Chain A
Amino acid sequence: GNSVTQMEGPVTLSEEAFLTINCTYTATGYPSLFWYVQYPGEGLQLLLKATKADDKGSNKGFEATYRKETTSFHLEKGSVQVSDSAVYFCALSDRGTASKLTFGTGTRLQVTL
């Protein structure tokens, strides 16, 4: 079956530091890949997505590239802000079941001044 593996958290960074959150996946076929973010007390918000190999998703300074050869979709940001503190989830969906997402365990990011 499908699975998503994320790096363990929490990740603590100083403001303006570089962020990488690793994500690898196992899936048959050609899944779509997503990063969602969850702020305290809220649901999940889509951060970015990529639907085919070598696609780069980007939003709000965050980027991730769909790497089929390494089955990875690592999240990066060049300079984090305190407001980026949240839990980040990597997820995938099969082409045939697009609303059935398989999520990673989530990585908590804490950014300090």
Chain B
Amino acid sequence: KAGVTQTPRYLIKTRGQQVTLSCSPISGHRSVSWYQQTPGQGLQFLFEYFSETQRNKGNFPGRFSGRQFSNSRSEMNVSTLELGDSALYLCASSPQTGSLGNSPLHFGNGTRLTVT
């Protein structure tokens, strides 16, 4: 079974631009979550999508948004990029159907975004 695939692996953008990152979950997984990893703040939860609906949201500004398609693939968008948005963005999928339970997350290798 193919793992979680994130594209692109690397991105360089300029302040003020916007960016879209893509994530293809493991086949059959309907839950997709996004995390931001930085040296200063560590790993922080952005949001989770299930069946094309946002089910949970972290404490990030509205510039960070996402969506999920009917095939469970997900995208996240960051508008008006700031230098502090430079990070590794990780996508994770889970076979979990309900919000209860403890199915582990399967992470992709991430997209490294650099904002200059």
Contact = CB atoms under 8 A, between A and B. Distances in A.
Given A99-B31, A99-B56, A106-B42, A43 B90 contact: yes
Interface string B1-15: 000100000000000
B102 A105 contact: no
Interface stretch (A7-15, A19-27, A44-52, A70-78): A44-52
B106 to A, nearest CB: 8
Contact of A98 (B4, B44, B100, B106): B100
Nearest to B104: A46
Interface in A97-112: 97-106
Interface of A: 32, 34, 36, 41-46, 49, 51, 89, 91, 93, 95-106
Given A49-B104, A106-B42, 18 more contacts: A43-B4, A43-B108, A44-B92, A46-B104, A46-B106, A96-B100, A97-B56, A98-B99, A98-B100, A99-B31, A99-B33, A99-B55, A99-B96, A100-B58, A101-B43, A101-B45, A104-B42, A105-B42
